[in-house]
Structure 1
Amino acid sequence: MAFRKFSFLSLVAGGVAQTGLAPKKFNSLPLGAIRPAGWLSDQLNVQMNGLAGHQHEIHLDVSQVNNTDWTGGSGYYSNLEEAGSYWFNAAVPAGILSNNAVFNNLTLNFLNYVIDHQDSTGWLGPEVGTTKPRYLWGRYPFFFGAIQLVEHDPTLADRVVPALHKFVQVANTMLHNNGEGVDDWAATRWEDFVMALQWLYDFHPNGNEALLIDTMKMLKATGDPWEQVFATANFPTKAVDNTPNPFPVLTWHGVNMAEGLKALPSTFRFTHNQSDLARASEGWDNLFKFHGRPSGIFAADEYLAGLEAHRGTELCLVVETMFSGSFLYQVAGDPKYADRVRSFSSVAHSQPLTPRHMWTRQYLQQQNQIAAKNMTPNPFPNDGPYSNVFGLEPNYRWPKFITNSFVVTPDNKSLVQVYLGPFSTSTTLAGNNAVTVTVDTQYPFSDTVKTTVKAAQAFTYLVRIPSWVVGGTIAVNGAKATAVAPSNGLHAVNIAAGTTSLVLNLPAPITTESRPHGAIAIHRGPLNYAFDIPRTQKILARNAAEPRAVDLEFDSSGTWQFAIDPSTLKFVPRTVSALPSPVFDQAKPPFSMTVTACPISWSVAGDTFAAVPPTSPRCTGANTTLTLWPYGATKLRISEFPVMHA
């Protein structure tokens, strides 16, 4: 690839060099400091009892991860270019947060094997002792996994940190050698390595500060120019199927775009240039303006796919955008990032979940999806026609939503609850202030969030109030509830030493969103609502080694061609003492809506997906009442509805 010769003057604010890394608005807590509770803990356990927790036993790329010899670089180690690193990065937090001793032993064995086989130059991976070309990007997720293990168990630092620094030295040499090791994937995902280097700089610099900063600059200089890709003048405003990309083609790849959202906030830390954060914000807004979905995520199948409801969204894209949105919030402090992450987090539940277990997953989903089968014709220009079948493939919704749910301010004096949900956390703030927070809530399946804070000393507790909340209140220690008053999305509570109880009530109105062809989408709070199409199920294939792992085809078994009258939308909450398991199953959430609808003429494209919604359609039959469910609880759905013709 061509070496991108950027002037280092472009990497500093106003051409005046500044040293060190700019602080983030908020700092994350180490892995294990935040624990899931309630429905969220149950959801994680269901995942670990399914394919996510057993992938290493049956998947071809990973079936030898449990081989203690791993001779010849077998199993995941031989796939450190991609599969091994991804599995490791996901398995580390999944095992720790679910207290899965088997998984934790596997990840530790994997870490030890990789480090034990580091060569004298510092290189990590199966290329050691071979003539295979060395590419950098497959190591980046490995760094993330290793960092999380050190955060959880600081005694590992003496073994892990020197190995990471040794790799940085060889990587820096390669980058200065005309960008050696930078293939197309490394060029687009360089920000992940920058983030790992910044962790070393912040917590374990080992006297290598100058080398770490230089390596960050070289990664940007040899990487794709995200500051140009995200600029409004260059950003694609429709599906890119037939649009020439002025930048390297992988920049419009959906997962790369999701990962690239981290590039400019990571760059800002060493450039100290506010324009990096401004361009990141611009790119975020463009992405959702031109390719956004009512579910909160954006469409790419594999490349950016515009606004049409039959185009696909990839599971990997969802989890990477969650990670990037959390990082953007921590660096920039803009609540729009946290709001959107919370609004689309349920999308990750709908894709891999089949009824009552998680042994299959769906590669691509659609906002309007009337079947999940081998598609004829195929609406996805780059992915195969089998892409929306529920089947046996990697199944991870990385638990980074949990690990980013609390952060601390840079002075370490205040604790911030970013995401609302059932969590607990224990940490020590400045002045040796030991703080424990327990959040008891069914949110987003309830509007009430009860929090108990125990603190050794007084401090300020900050809780994010989502932008969709109208009429929110807070009651402290049983006193009369008062209106929440967030500043930049955060409501401050003065916590005294001892125990403090908080009760938040966070109601939200029903809202509608305009979609192409005069259609609308329905929202309340963080949840998008959809009509759950009745369906039949057919097993297409069953894994010989694990009979629970199947490929499933779904077909609609009832009418889905409806127009709705949005003026009749009604929210229908149910009070339940405990949420069902898993909560994202058919008709299980305690929140639903009803709406008046009528049958209409609505054609099918080929035999597998809905054509675009008809504009102002006339009813072809009597009115009926539809029940709408949270998007994540549907497998086949209509979520962009035509509106009844007046």
Structure 2
Amino acid sequence: MGFKGIVISTLLSLFVGVAPQSTGLAPKKFLSLPLGAVKPSGWLHDQLLVQANGLAGHEHDFYDYVAQSDWIGGDSYYSNLEEAGSYWFNGMAPTGVLLNDATIQNQTRQFLDYVLDHQDSDGWLGPEVGTTKPRYLWGRYPFFFGAIQMVEADPSLTDRVVTALHNFTSLANTMLHQGQGVEDWAKTRWEDYVMALQWLYDFHPNGKEDILIDTMKMLKWTGDPWELVFANASFPKGPVEHLSNPFPVLTWHGVNMAEGLKALPSTYRFTHNQSDLDAASLGWDLLFQYHGRPSGIYAADEYLAGLEAVRGAELCLVVETMFSGSYLYQVIGDPKFADRVERITYNALPATLTGGEYLRFEPAVHVLTTRLRLSFVDMWSRQYLQQQNQIAAQNMSPNPFPEDGPYSNVFGLEPNYPCCTVNHPQGWPKFVSNSFVTTADQSGLVHVYLGPLSVNTTLAKGNNVTVNVETIYPFSDTVSTTVQADQAFTYYVRVPSWVSGGNFTVNGAEAKAFSPDQGTGLQAIPVSAGTTTISMNFPAEITIEQRPHGSVAVHRGPLHYAFDIPRDSTVLTKDAQEPRAQDLQFEATAEWQYAIDPSTLTFHAGSPDGGKLPSPVFDKGLSPFTITATACPVDWATAGDTFAASPPTNPNCTGSATTITLSPFGTTKLRIGEFPTFNATGPGQ
């Protein structure tokens, strides 16, 4: 029958034989709030501000792929919506709104206007208008997300954007039925367009429900079969570079898989098949079981890479997995998705961006010259790939990444590929926007991701509600929330799975232990009309995660802890137009080859000055939370001084025991996150 025949036969049996006789779209478990209803405060606001003042907020000024001078009348990614412009727009549209930044809002509005002003008479969006270029669908999908967010924040844009999306969909539907517009990337990322179509169906169908549903179905049938990719029998259980993929090869591509996690929950909404949700949940579990990292993310450098600590995790897949996990939680309601997203956000995301540090300059042709201290740099450089055990960030020889270049873990403007430069800005703002949702009937408000936030929304029956959350979580266990409401309602708080002995008080009454719903992880708290204060405590124990070669990873609460290797910073190059955009090399300046005794781990909760975290907080020595461990030096091989070999199993100490300090993973740029172990009280110690 062949691959295509097997896929079609299997999908038809799933879709036709199982689907109930239902019409329309199935409801989600929770509903997202429009952009701007949830705002960051405290350190989260500072984090978005640092990002806006860094590389993300200045790309429009100088970066070739998105600079305005390159897209008006030009042939750059920005104007042709093939990738970079859409990515940038998708991340900066919410950034401008959440920060109330007029400059960024003007830039994203100009982008929106330019794209819509140049829509073809047949509905096409992009530079292919009036040309002989082939038309492919996928590059427009991030643009749709950005446009939808702008409508949510500014309803005056509704008619213009909705009309443009409907006109494009009419054309896309015809193209799909004629076998046009779908290439390898569109075949993997069809779910993004399905989600945009479902937004139209839910809020602005304009009498076009049938063509919207039909287009969703066509996208699925012309796309890669994610329910089969995520099946246990065919899912890769280790690095894939030497495996044969029974499906199109791009399904094992890391970022495609991150986006593909949204495919089955989006499919469920029009198939009404529980099997779609079951397959989505299984796929999530398999992905992290066989490729997961203690930092929350999974390894893919460029394709799925297994469990070894030296293999890479791409920044694009970090932010895409965060977005997919939020969507999965909103459709299915399983708290494992929200727990994972929070862990990724507070560990893997900041670890791959510069926080703030003093840099030195060393011309490449004068490697022995004196290094001169330059300026303090905040979030101006990013990696393409991060590693769990990362002992250097430099041009690597040999290179541990079979599909990516040796420059991939340098911090810079565009190491390896440019996609992460334009795509990473969606991470923080979308995390904020998805931190609160409502119940399906919009009668209850749900606090999903813990952090400093504010909310202003209207629930069912005209119930105006405002919420102010004060906390420095995850650098504190306490959260203080003030709720003001016109009418009584139920306020829900997600209680993470790692909480041990947590409790809450309402209006200063006696504390009650958390007893969250097992299905959703939510604690229901009745709130009266008027003002209600809720104080919550989310304590956690230190936990140990077993990793390959007998190594261990250390966790407490949402934070993963690693040894922050002292480092030297060197500027390799600067962008000619924007010298703050620098490529940085980090080298270790101290020993890192340690084994730890897990029985000696001790948590230390410091108090930040004035109760306020430094900004940016994700860098060396800035976290008030640390963990100490008894450690000893061990023999641990390196490859060309650029990356660490696998942790040695049951190593012997080569020196006296000492105490080392572990810091939150996101604050480290060079680190050991997976340690060999020893017994500090054993013979000879």
TM over 0.5: yes
Task: Tell me, in whole angstroms, the C-alpha distance in 2 between the residues paired with 1:145 and 1:297.
Answer: 24
Name 2:232's counterpart in structure 1. 232
Name 1:436's counterpart in structure 2. 466
Name 1:613's counterpart in structure 2. 647
* 1:505 maps to 2:537: yes
Name 1:453's counterpart in structure 2. 483
Against the structure 1 CA distance between its residues 374 and 77, is the aligned structure 2 distance closer, same or farther, given a 3 Å change threshold? closer
Task: Tell me, in whole angstroms, the C-alpha distance in 1 between the residues paired with 2:80 and 2:539.
Answer: 47
Aligned-pair distance for 1:9?
6.3
Task: Tell me, in whole angstroms, the C-alpha distance in 2 between the residues paired with 1:226 and 1:140.
Answer: 18
Name 1:168's counterpart in structure 2. 169
One-letter amino acid matched to 2:133: K
| Aligned partners of 2:505 and 2:512 also within 8 Å | yes
* 1:123 maps to 2:155: no
Aligned-pair distance for 1:339?
0.4
Task: Tell me, in whole angstroms, the C-alpha distance in 2 between the residues paired with 1:504 and 1:16.
Answer: 43
Residues 69-112 of structure 1, C-alpha deviation per residue, up to 9 Å, x if partnerless?
A: x5434555433111111111111011111111111011111111
Q: Name whichever of 53-62 and 191-200 sits farther off.
A: 53-62
Say how many residue pairs are matched.
642
Aligned-pair distance for 1:344?
1.4
| Aligned partners of 2:92 and 2:425 also within 8 Å | no
Name 2:625's counterpart in structure 1. 591
Task: Tell me, in whole angstroms, the C-alpha distance in 1 between the residues paired with 2:129 and 2:14.
Answer: 36
One-letter amino acid matched to 1:624: T
Name 2:372's counterpart in structure 1. none
Against the structure 1 CA distance between its residues 15 and 272, is the aligned structure 2 distance closer, same or farther, given a 3 Å change threshold? closer
Name 1:134's counterpart in structure 2. 135
* 1:401 maps to 2:402: no
Task: Tell me, in whole angstroms, the C-alpha distance in 1 between the residues paired with 2:562 and 2:614.
Answer: 20
One-letter amino acid matched to 1:496: S
Name 1:475's counterpart in structure 2. 505
| Aligned partners of 2:79 and 2:115 also within 8 Å | no
| Aligned partners of 1:584 and 1:633 also within 8 Å | yes
Q: Give the alignment partner of residue 391 of structure 1, picking from 412, 418, 425.
A: 412
Name 1:327's counterpart in structure 2. 327
Name 1:259's counterpart in structure 2. 259
| Aligned partners of 1:418 and 1:464 also within 8 Å | yes
**1:520-599 mapped onto 2 (5 Å cutoff):** 520-576=552-608, 577-599=611-633
Against the structure 1 CA distance between its residues 380 and 510, is the aligned structure 2 distance closer, same or farther, given a 3 Å change threshold? same
* 1:313 maps to 2:347: no
Secondary structure of the residue that 1:169 maps to in structure 2? helix
Name 1:376's counterpart in structure 2. 397
Task: Tell me, in whole angstroms, the C-alpha distance in 2 between the residues paired with 1:106 and 1:190.
Answer: 28
Secondary structure of the residue that 1:156 maps to in structure 2? helix
Q: Give the alignment partner of residue 38 of structure 2, picking from 34, 37, 40.
A: 34
| Aligned partners of 1:348 and 1:397 also within 8 Å | no
Task: Tell me, in whole angstroms, the C-alpha distance in 1 between the residues paired with 2:323 and 2:17.
Answer: 27
Name 1:194's counterpart in structure 2. 194
Secondary structure of the residue that 2:52 maps to in structure 1? helix
Task: Tell me, in whole angstroms, the C-alpha distance in 2 between the residues paired with 1:112 and 1:13.
Answer: 45
Q: Name whichever of 73-82 and 529-538 sits farther off.
A: 73-82
| Aligned partners of 1:9 and 1:15 also within 8 Å | no
Aligned-pair distance for 1:567?
0.4
Against the structure 1 CA distance between its residues 443 and 185, is the aligned structure 2 distance closer, same or farther, given a 3 Å change threshold? same
Name 2:60's counterpart in structure 1. 56
| Aligned partners of 1:457 and 1:496 also within 8 Å | yes
Name 1:365's counterpart in structure 2. 386
Task: Tell me, in whole angstroms, the C-alpha distance in 2 between the residues paired with 1:2 and 1:9.
Answer: 14
Aligned-pair distance for 1:247?
0.4
Task: Tell me, in whole angstroms, the C-alpha distance in 2 between the residues paired with 1:459 and 1:453.
Answer: 11
Secondary structure of the residue that 1:391 maps to in structure 2? coil
Task: Tell me, in whole angstroms, the C-alpha distance in 1 between the residues paired with 2:340 and 2:133.
Answer: 42
Q: Name whichever of 487-496 and 354-363 sits farther off.
A: 354-363
Secondary structure of the residue that 2:176 maps to in structure 1? helix
**1:410-421 mapped onto 2 (5 Å cutoff):** 410-421=440-451
Name 1:155's counterpart in structure 2. 156
Secondary structure of the residue that 1:161 maps to in structure 2? helix
| Aligned partners of 1:392 and 1:551 also within 8 Å | yes
Aligned-pair distance for 1:397?
3.7
Against the structure 1 CA distance between its residues 248 and 578, is the aligned structure 2 distance closer, same or farther, given a 3 Å change threshold? same
Residues 372-404 of structure 1, C-alpha deviation per residue, up to 9 Å, x if partnerless?
A: 000010000111000000111316341110010
Task: Tell me, in whole angstroms, the C-alpha distance in 2 between the residues paired with 1:467 and 1:354.
Answer: 28
Task: Tell me, in whole angstroms, the C-alpha distance in 2 between the residues paired with 1:614 and 1:9.
Answer: 49
* 1:43 maps to 2:27: no
Name 2:27's counterpart in structure 1. 23
Name 2:303's counterpart in structure 1. 303
* 1:185 maps to 2:189: no
| Aligned partners of 1:185 and 1:250 also within 8 Å | yes
Secondary structure of the residue that 2:456 maps to in structure 1? strand
| Aligned partners of 2:20 and 2:272 also within 8 Å | no
One-letter amino acid matched to 1:421: G
* 1:487 maps to 2:517: yes
Task: Tell me, in whole angstroms, the C-alpha distance in 2 between the residues paired with 1:594 and 1:410.
Answer: 44
Name 2:550's counterpart in structure 1. 518
Name 1:284's counterpart in structure 2. 284
Task: Tell me, in whole angstroms, the C-alpha distance in 1 between the residues paired with 2:147 and 2:20.
Answer: 35
Against the structure 1 CA distance between its residues 503 and 12, is the aligned structure 2 distance closer, same or farther, given a 3 Å change threshold? farther
Aligned-pair distance for 1:10?
3.6
Residues 107-127 of structure 1, C-alpha deviation per residue, up to 9 Å, x if partnerless?
A: 111111111111111000000
Against the structure 1 CA distance between its residues 165 and 13, is the aligned structure 2 distance closer, same or farther, given a 3 Å change threshold? farther
Aligned-pair distance for 1:592?
0.3
One-letter amino acid matched to 1:527: L
Unpaired segments of 5 or more residues in structure 1?
Answer: none
Task: Tell me, in whole angstroms, the C-alpha distance in 1 between the residues paired with 2:16 and 2:445.
Answer: 31
One-letter amino acid matched to 2:637: S
| Aligned partners of 2:574 and 2:581 also within 8 Å | yes
Identity, % of aligned pairs?
Answer: 66
TM-score (norm 2): 0.92
Note the aligned Cα RMSD (angstroms).
1.4
Residues 305-356 of structure 1, C-alpha deviation per residue, up to 9 Å, x if partnerless?
A: 0000000000000000000000000000000000010011121111111425
Task: Tell me, in whole angstroms, the C-alpha distance in 2 between the residues paired with 1:39 and 1:372.
Answer: 27
Task: Tell me, in whole angstroms, the C-alpha distance in 1 between the residues paired with 2:273 and 2:48.
Answer: 39
Name 2:418's counterpart in structure 1. none
Aligned-pair distance for 1:13?
6.7
Task: Tell me, in whole angstroms, the C-alpha distance in 2 between the residues paired with 1:74 and 1:275.
Answer: 44
Name 2:209's counterpart in structure 1. 209
Task: Tell me, in whole angstroms, the C-alpha distance in 2 between the residues paired with 1:602 and 1:66.
Answer: 51
TM-score (norm 1): 0.98
